[in-house]
C-alpha cells in the first residue's frame, strides 16, 4: 500500500512538473482522477501560493477552445500498462489538435514497466488500492444486475474510503 508520505512526495514531483511544463489546460483522465487531483491542487497551493494553477477539468469536458493550439497535460492517478493514458490521448486529445501534450500520472503501479512518455510522481509495486478497476461504475452496475449486492456495497465502500483517504492527505498538506 502506498503511504501518505509517498503520495505527498509524488504529488510534489507532479506539481513541480506541471509548474515547469506551464500548460494552458490540465485534463483529468476520468472520474477516478478527481480525488488524486485534489491532492495535487493542495500541494500546488502550498508550493506556489502566488501563482494560479492552470485550468483543469475532466477530459470529457474538453473543447477546442481549451485544447487546440495549446499546451495540455493529461493527468491520471495511476498508470500500469500505459494503455489507458495512450488511449485517452489518441481518442480524445489528439483530435482537438493541441500544440503539445504532456502525460502525467501520480503513481506508476508497475515500476518495471517503464513509461518514457509519462512523468510519474512515484513508482510503487503491487496493488495500490486506488485503482479499483478501469470503469468502477460499470463494475458496480454489473454486480447489482447480477445480484451481487454485497460485493457491490463492498466495492462502493472501498471507493468512498479511498476518496476520503486522498482528501485527508490533501487536508494534511494544506495545514503544513
User: What are 65-99's pLDDT values in tens digits?
Assistant: 888 899 999 998 878 777 788 888 887 777 888 88
Cβ atoms of 35 and 77 closer than 8 Å: yes
CATH number at 38 reads: 3.40.50.2020
User: Using one digit for the tens of pLDDT, what is the confidence trace for 122-132?
Assistant: 876 444 444 43
Mean pLDDT of the chain: 77
Predicted confidence at residue 75, as pLDDT, reads 92
Continuous segment of H or E residues that includes residue 106:
strand 100-108
In this structure, the number of other CB atoms found within 10 A of the CB of residue 86 comes to 16
**Where does the chain have alpha helices with state H?**
4-21, 33-47, 64-67, 83-88, 136-145, 149-175
In this structure, the number of other CB atoms found within 10 A of the CB of residue 117 comes to 12
Q: What is the 3-state secondary structure (H, E, C) of 51-80?
A: CCCCEEEEHHHCCHHHHECCEEEEEEEEEC
Number of domains in the chain: 1
Q: What percent of the chain has pLDDT over 70?
A: 69
* Cα-Cα-Cα-Cα dihedral sign, residues 53, 129, 81, 121: positive
pTM of the predicted model as reported, rounded to 2 decimal places: 0.72
Q: Is the pLDDT of residue 62 over 80?
A: yes
Domain that holds residue 29: 4-175
User: Using one digit for the tens of pLDDT, what is the confidence trace for 124-172?
Assistant: 644 444 443 444 455 555 555 666 666 666 666 766 777 677 767 767 6
Confidence band (pLDDT; 50, 70, 90) for 18?
Answer: very high
Predicted confidence at residue 130, as pLDDT, reads 43
Amino acid at each position: 500500500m502506498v503511504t501518505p508520505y509517498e503520495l505527498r512526495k509524488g504529488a510534489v514531483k507532479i506539481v513541480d512538473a506541471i509548474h515547469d511544463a506551464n500548460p494552458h489546460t490540465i485534463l483529468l483522465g476520468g472520474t477516478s482522477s478527481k480525488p488524486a487531483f485534489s491532492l495535487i491542487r493542495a500541494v500546488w497551493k502550498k508550493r506556489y501560493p502566488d501563482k494560479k494553477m492552470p485550468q483543469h477539468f475532466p477530459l470529457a469536458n474538453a473543447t477546442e477552445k481549451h485544447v487546440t493550439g495549446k499546451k495540455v497535460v493529461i493527468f491520471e492517478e495511476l498508470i500500469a500498462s500505459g494503455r489507458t493514458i495512450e488511449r485517452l490521448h489518441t481518442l480524445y486529445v489528439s483530435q482537438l489538435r493541441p500544440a503539445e501534450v504532456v502525460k502525467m500520472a501520480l503513481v506508476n503501479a508497475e515500476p518495471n514497466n517503464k513509461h518514457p512518455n509519462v512523468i510519474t510522481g512515484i513508482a510503487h509495486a503491487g496493488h495500490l488500492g486506488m485503482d479499483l478497476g478501469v470503469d468502477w461504475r460499470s463494475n458496480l452496475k454489473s454486480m447489482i444486475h447480477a445480484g451481487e449486492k454485497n460485493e457491490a456495497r463492498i466495492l462502493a465502500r472501498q471507493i468512498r474510503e479511498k476518496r476520503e483517504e486522498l482528501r485527508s492527505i490533501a487536508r494534511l498538506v494544506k495545514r503544513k
